[in-house]
Structures are given as structure tokens and as C-alpha cells.
Chains A and B, each alone.
Chain A
Amino acid sequence: MPQVTIEKKKTKDLSTLDVQNLIYEGYLETFKLRRGKSFDELLKMANDPRRYSKVRKKNKKT
């Protein structure tokens, strides 16, 4: 994240509208990063045992 954005986020005197715009940008950013998936969906994907069995199989082959 650019330094300017971080500094802006910390400013105590941000107006209500600025804060809401920052929040909105943050949500959009998270939404893009997570490719439209919710946190719960990502959590399930990350902890899906099938994912690790695939990795193990690959490792065995190599």
C-alpha cells in the first residue's frame, strides 16, 4: 500500500465523508483481492483437506 494512503488513513481530522470513502475503497480492494469470495468461503477453501492431499500427491511424484 502506498505511503500516502497509510498517512491519509491515520489523519485524525478526516471528515466523515473522507472516512466513508476510505472505507468504501478498502472494501473494494478486499473484494478484488479475494476475487469476489467472502471471508468464510476463503476460509473453507484454505482449510479444505482435499487441497493438502493434492499437494502431498504432487510432492510424492517429485
Chain B
Amino acid sequence: MYLNSSIMSSQITIEELDKLALDLCAFRKKPLLILYYHEFEGDMREEDITHICEEIRRRGVSRENKLDNLDVLLHTMGGDPHTGYRIAQLIRDITSEVTFLIPEYAFSAGTLTCMCGNAIRLGECAVLSPFDISFAPRRETSEDIELMSIDYFREFVTDSRAQVERMLQQVRSGSSTDIDSALLVEMTRQVGALNIGRFYRARTLTGYYAEMLLLEYMFEHLPNREDVTNKIIRGLLFEYPTHDFHMDFHISNKLGLPVEEMTVAESDKAKSIVSALRQLTVLGVICRTIRDAYKAPFIRLYSGGQ
């Protein structure tokens, strides 16, 4: 049996959420697509694509009946990069221009989706993240291994060898060192040779998706779009220290992404929507549990009377 919004008279209601969303639509003068994934329990998955597609069609929008402009309010900790890419293409299929509104965060695959935007507007203290790959063989039993950790380990191996060789030279020893191979063998033993192969393959894939979106949409009209794209991909995949590195407005701007800071009024409106969504999820009205640690996302296109 479904929970009805009327039972939460003292709490936020779904009608109030609608009001907040329509208020933002009116403020921005654009239709608004909300994609809300509840904390770590709502990762982006392949199944989402069908439901986003259905909601868009339900509201009378399609490839043949495109919107001129669309705001996408995205709130996610990330998930499957294939899904991140496909949602981006789906959004671009139905609108000529798109602006991403990030009230709090859009990490990893969420950042990848943003790469199809003409602009990314960040709420107060909102952040994006690199979209490096991390793998957990079994979600509940193991900590994720980040590909960046492997990169840093390789750097550590190189530094270690150089340091030992310098030391041997100083003591005028004729012998050499194989500390690097010993360390690499140990890393391969711990992570698994095939896993390392999978990490590198997946990184190539994420880089490819990002390149497609940046070249085709975000920097479509820039004469030096290839240079800008390469710089951003290098930064997002290789140069930032960790997968959960927080890229705020200043870092994203320095990287070359078309980010803008929301005005205080806009940021408050966007954040109040996320807050309402969070409360409604906790109350069990939306984003209900499908299985352990996995909740359905909130998907809704508000046309704002346009």
C-alpha cells in the first residue's frame, strides 16, 4: 500500500515539493527535470534510463518535440558511468540547451552527466568530483579500490627505486636494486592482475564518454575545443588526488569547466528542493527501498506551464 502525502500533515508534503519545483521553474523561466538519488543508497543505474525516458515522453517532450531550454537539477553520489553517459545523451536528445543545477553535489558519474551541459550552476558550497574509476568486487564486503591509488602506488615505486639507487651510489656500492619489481609484484598480488587490467580499460572508457560529451555539446562552438577537452579530461582522470576530491566552483573554474555560482536566492530555492526530497525519502513517500541499500531515484519533469 502506498503512503499518502496527506498523512504527513506536520511534515513536508509532495504538494509542497511541487510548489518549490514550480517556483524554481518560474524563477529560472525554464522547465526543470529533477534527478534525485538518495545519498549512498541511490546510485545511478542502467534501469534509470527507461524511467527518465518515460517521464520525459509523459510530459509531451521527445526528440521530435524538443525543448529550447532545460534545467536539470542533479543530486547524486554517482554510480555506473555507462548510465551517466546515456542519461547525458538522452537529455541532449530532447533539448537544444541544457543547464545543470547542482544544489549540493553531483559526484563521479553525475559529474560525467554534467559534461553535456552548456553551463553548470553550483549552489552555495556545491561540488563536483573527478570521475575516476573505483571498483568494489562485492559492495558489502570490500572497500573500493581507486585507480588513482594504483597510479600513486606506481609513483611511490618509481620514487623508491630512485632513492635506493641514490643511496647505493653514495655508499659506492656496485650492486643494484630490484625494489620496484618486488613492490609491483606485491601490488599485483593484492589487487589481482586481471583487476588492474579492468581498471585501465574502464578509465579509457570513461575518458572516451567524457570526450564525446565535451566535444559534441559543452564546447561545441569553441574553436580550440579539442585542447580544452583534453585539458579537462586529463585533470578529471589523472591529475586530481583522489576520486572523492571535492571540486568546488573555484577548482572547476580553474579546470576550464563552464561553471557559474548561483545567486543566493537561486541557491536557496534549489537547496530547499533537495531538502524536501530528502525529507520525503526519509518519510518513505518517494525513493522507496527496492532492496538492501538501494532506493529508487526521484525523477520528475516540471514544465512550469510552458
Contacts from A to B (Cβ < 8 Å):
9-12, 14-17, 19-24, 26-28, 30-31, 36, 38-40
Please list 24 pairs of residues, one from A and one from B, whose beta carbons are closer than 8 Å in the complex, sorted by A's number: A9-B58, A11-B58, A16-B17, A16-B18, A16-B300, A17-B4, A17-B14, A17-B285, A19-B58, A19-B299, A20-B286, A20-B298, A20-B299, A20-B300, A22-B54, A23-B51, A23-B296, A24-B296, A26-B47, A26-B54, A27-B290, A31-B291, A36-B291, A39-B45
Least distance between B219 CB and chain A CB atoms (Å): 31
Q: Once bound together, how far apart are the Cα atoms of A24 and B38, in whole Å?
A: 14
In whole angstroms, what is the CA distance A31 to B296 when docked? 11
CA–CA, A10 to B60, complex, Å?
9
Binding site for A on B (CB under 8 A): 2, 4-5, 14, 17-18, 45-47, 50-51, 54-55, 57-60, 80, 285-288, 290-291, 296-300
A-chain residues with CB within 8 Å of residue B57 when the two chains form the complex: 10
| B45, B288, B300: the one within 8 Å of A19 (CB) | B300
Write the nearest CB–CB distance from B191 to chain A, whole angstroms: 20
Query: Across the two chains, which residue of chain B brings its CB closest to A11?
Result: B58
Interface of B is mostly: mixed
A36-B291 Cα distance, complex, nearest whole Å: 9
Q: Which residues of B contact A11 (CB under 8 A)?
A: 58
A13 to nearest B CB, angstroms?
Answer: 9
Cα–Cα distance between A15 and B13 once the two chains are bound (Å): 13
The 5 closest A-B pairs by CB, nearest first: A39-B46, A20-B286, A27-B296, A23-B51, A27-B290
Distance in angstroms between the alpha carbons of A36 and B65 in the assembled complex: 36
Question: Are A26 and B50 in contact (CB-based, < 8 A)?
Answer: yes
- Chain A nearest CB, measured from B129 CB (Å): 21
**By the criterion CB–CB under 8 Å, are B58 and A31 in contact?**
no
**B296 to A16, Cβ gap below 8 A?**
no
CA distance in complex: A10, B55 (Å): 9
Given A10-B58, A27-B47, A28-B290, A16 and B14 touching (CB < 8 A)? yes
Q: Is the CB of A38 within 8 A of B45?
A: yes
Report the Cα distance A33→B288, complex, angstroms: 19
Interchain nearest-CB distance for B233 vs A (Å): 24
**Minimum CB–CB distance for B20 against chain A, Å:** 11
Residues of B near A9 (CB, < 8 A) are: 54, 58
The complex places the Cα of A9 from the Cα of B14 at a distance, in Å, of 19
Residues of A with C-beta under 8 A to B45: 38-39
Bound complex: CA A10 to CA B34 (Å): 19
Given contacts A28-B290, A31-B290, A39-B45, contact A17 B296 (CB under 8 A): no
Docked Cα-Cα span, A39 to B288, in Å, equals 20
A23 contacts across to B, CB distance below 8 A = 51, 55, 296-297, 299
Instruction: Return chain A residues, CB-CB under 8 Å to B14.
Output: 15-17
